[in-house]
Structure formats: structure tokens, C-alpha cells
């Protein structure tokens, strides 16, 4: 089964470089990114769309899913919850440490990288039991990092900061 993962278009929080989990829509640049991605993948065949239930992912999916293929929302595809870091600038934490799989550092009440990866990997294990030929997943940077870990493994240093998709990017994997 082919699995395509897309990261949602840009949001104001992405642009401002602040932690966010709340319901935030994509901004005008995010809409443009989604429209460009829609054009890029117009000939891509997929049986179903799995999508994070967060607004920014839902809006991106709505734009790129030109053929109105069935969309299934799954909470396991939500972004890593930053807890009480919500709304705070990224530079209030050591970003390499924040995205280090092996780190024991807790910056606040954020969801751990291991927990995020565990729930996304559970989703992928369940996906293996489905009879799809090809699926499109619309989610977030953290989820794309978990996909990377699932398909390519954990880097020796455990660092995932630069291994996620950028806004409006797509990656392809094979289960």
C-alpha cells in the first residue's frame, strides 16, 4: 500500500514560530500552498483520505481532495500537544531537545515525542490491516516526523527537528 502524507498549509502560528495545538485555520499563504499542492497531486490516485481533526489539516484536505474521496478523521493524527507551551515562542525551548526522541527533558506539560510516535505508529499498524491500495494522510509536522521514524527508523542521535515536512509538502512511503 502506498501512503502519502501531507503537512497542512501555513498558519499564523507557524509564521510567528509559536507552539500551537488549538483550532487555527490556515492563513492566505497556507491556502496558496494547499492550492499548489492540489495541482501537484492532481493525478495522484488514492482510495481514502485520513486526516487530523484539527482545522488547519481539515481545510488543507478540503482544498487538495479534488475528487472528494471519502475522508476519515482520526485523533491519532493530531499534532503533538504542547501543553502549557501553547502560544509561547519556539525559542523558549531548546528545539533540538524538544524533538529528541531520547530526551528526558520536560519543558512544560507537553506530550512526549515517544507518546506522539506511539499513537501515530498505532495508526500505521492499523492501516496495514486495511485493504487500500493507496491512502492520503493530511496531518502535521510532528506526525510527519513519526512517519519518518516508522519507515526509516530513529536516528542514532534521536533528533527529529529537521526531519518533518514543511507546510504544504508531501512524502511517499510504502507499507
Active-site annotation, residues: 8, 79
Pairing of strands 2-7, 170-174: antiparallel
Spell out the residues 6+ positions from residue 68 whose beta carbon is closer than 8 angstroms to its own: none
Q: Contact at 8 Å (CB) between 139 and 3?
A: no
Length of the chain: 175
Contact 50, 135 (CB under 8 A): yes
Cell numbers 529537521 correspond to 162
Q: How far apart are CA 31 and CA 54, in angstroms?
A: 15
* CB 45 within 8 Å of CB 13: no
Under 8 Å between Cβ of 174 and 2 = yes
Dist CA 137 CA 171 (whole Å) = 10
Amino acid at each position: 500500500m502506498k501512503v502519502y502524507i501531507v503537512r497542512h498549509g501555513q498558519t499564523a502560528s507557524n509564521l510567528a514560530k509559536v507552539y500551537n495545538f488549538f483550532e487555527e485555520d490556515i492563513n492566505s499563504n497556507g491556502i496558496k500552498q494547499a492550492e499548489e499542492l492540489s495541482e501537484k497531486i492532481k493525478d495522484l490516485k488514492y482510495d481514502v483520505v485520513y486526516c487530523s481533526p484539527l482545522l488547519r489539516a481539515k481545510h488543507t484536505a478540503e482544498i487538495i481532495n479534488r475528487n472528494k474521496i471519502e475522508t476519515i478523521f482520526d485523533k491519532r493524527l493530531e499534532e503533538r500537544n504542547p501543553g502549557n507551551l501553547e502560544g509561547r515562542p519556539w525559542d523558549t525551548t531548546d528545539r533540538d531537545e524538544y524533538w529528541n526522541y531520547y530526551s528526558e527533558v520536560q519543558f512544560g506539560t507537553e506530550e512526549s515525542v515517544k507518546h506522539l510516535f506511539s499513537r501515530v505508529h498505532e495508526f500505521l499498524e492499523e492501516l496495514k490491516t486495511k485493504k487500500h491500495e493507496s491512502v492520503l494522510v493530511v496531518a502535521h509536522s510532528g506526525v510527519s516526523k513519526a512517519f519518518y521514524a516508522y519507515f526509516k527508523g530513529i536516528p542514532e542521535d534521536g533528533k527529529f527537528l529537521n526531519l518533518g515536512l514543511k507546510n504544504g509538502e508531501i512524502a511517499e512511503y510504502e507499507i
